[in-house]
Structure formats: C-alpha cells, structure tokens
Amino acid sequence: MQHRRPRLSTKAKTLVAASVALAAAAGVTVAQAGESSKKCAAFDTIALGKYYVNNNLWGQDKGTGTQCVWDNSRSGSTISWGTSYSWANSAKGTDSDVKSYASTVLGWHWGWKADKASTGLPIRVGDRKKVTAKWSFSVGSNPGTMNVAYDLWLHAKSTADWQDRPTDEVMIWLNRQGGAGPLGTKYGSVSLGGSMWDIYRGNIGWNVYSFVRRTNTTSATLNLDDFTQALVRRKLMSNDKYVSGIESGTEVFKGSGRLDTKSYSVDIG
C-alpha cells in the first residue's frame, strides 16, 4: 500500500567466497552475501537486476520491532531473497495495523529505481499481455499475523512518476497466518489459476482489490493479467488503466518470523 513505502569473520568470508565461486560456476550471479550482509534500516534497498528488494517499514510508527532483508542469488530473471521480522504493537498500533511490507519491486513504487526499460512496465490492461509470475517460498514456524502477497499498482497514464498517486491497487494473497485479513469487504469470488479466490474491495484514497486464496500455498505460477481482467469483467476496472508496478513480499501485522523466497520471477509478454 502507499505507505509501504555486520561484519564477517575470516571463516565466514571464506565460506561466502566459496559460495560465490560455486554459484559463478553454475552461471548464477550472487549480488550480495545473503544473510551475512542483510540490511535492516527502514527502506534499505538491494538491487537485483530489473528488481530491487525494499525493506519497506511503512507502518513502523504503529509498532515496535525490527525487520531485515537480504538477497541470495540472481540467475537471469529469477531471484532468491529473504526477510526476518519481529513486531509488536506500539501505543499507537493495533493488531489490524500493518507494520511492514518487505518486498521485491519490479517497476514503479512511488517512482522508479531500476532502469525503466528493463522492467517491461507499464503495460495497458486492455492489451492483455501475459504476465507470468512464479514464486516458491517458505514461511517460518509460528510466523505471527502476516500474509504473503503480490501487490500491483495501476495508474490512469503510462508516464506515472513519484508524484503520481495510483488509481488502483491489486493484492493477491497466496498465504495468510494468524488471522490476517484484507482491507474492505467481501465482493465475490472467482476461480483463477486452478484455485478459488475471495475478492475484497476497499478504498484508501484509491481502490484496493484483494484476491485472497481460500487455501494457503507456498508455490504458485500465475498469469497476473487474469486478475486484472477478473476486475474488468466485473466492471470494477477499465481496460485503459496501466499496470506500473508489481511487488511481492510479506505484510506483517505482529509477531516474529521470516519469509524465504527460494525462487521468484516475473516475465511480461
């Protein structure tokens, strides 16, 4: 949503160097040294080709705690990364307040960080371009109240930049824990990608649509165009909107845990 907006020992350095060498031999690019070089400051970023990882602590004023991100590898358009967190409510916060959305970003997120041309975005909804999203991940035991979800940003024009508010936001929840629930009220349901999803509709200054998978999964291959078209068919979205940004990560409400992305990719067209 809008607001989403250590030093190594000699032995550790040796192990990291060996890992990098093995990865290089396998044709894998290792941009960072994994957890050993994790970043924990709010809105820290790690570049991974056309993506970047964002330690997005947009709701941190409603909580007390920390969250870190790290990257593991990149091979072509496929990346691996992780995040760990520990959040409790502050005096201003409640169990229903999201504290963070550590995530990968492709394209627009209140501006552009990666080379825009490399992202393949924006794309016009009505052009019906296939957006193949593959994600395999694991959720730690007792992860608290959280979800694992895609987040799509849409604008009314193809030239959106940092100052342009979105018109629509589409979330796709693959996994939820601890009673986490989406914004708004239930609108209906739909079968997409071989699974049933409940659709929720809300507004926070722009429309927010959430597709919540009825059963949790830790692996999915989806055409994200199917979800925007499901909204078009219901006359909730027009074909002349543009998908400007695609994110993936975990919204944390409270608790301690981690999300490990084993492999993730988004390919357009």
- What single-letter amino acid sits at 106? L
CA distance 206 to 113: 23
Q: Which of 151, 168, 251, 260 is catalytic?
A: 251
**Alpha-carbon distance 169 to 151, whole Å?**
7
Scanning the structure block, which residue is given the tokens 């371009």? Answer: 129
What amino acid is encoded at 201 in this protein?
R
Number of H helices, E strands in the chain: 3, 14
Closest CA to 56 of 47, 48, 68, 73: 68
> Is 35 among the catalytic positions?
no
Spatial separation of the C-alpha atoms in residues 203 and 40, rounded to whole Å: 30
32 close to 46: Cβ distance less than 8 angstroms: yes
- Three-class secondary structure of residue 35 per DSSP: helix
Q: Which of 71, 151, 168, 169 is catalytic?
A: 169
Burial of 3: CB neighbours in 10 Å, binned 0-12, 13-18, 19+: middle
> Phi and psi for 179 in degrees, rounded to 5?
80, 15
* Residue 247 known to be catalytic: no
Tell me the H-state helices in the chain.
10-25, 116-119, 225-233
Are 216 and 174 in contact by the 8 Å Cβ rule? The answer is yes
**Distance from chain centroid for Cα 86:** 18
Query: Catalytic positions, please?
Result: 169, 251
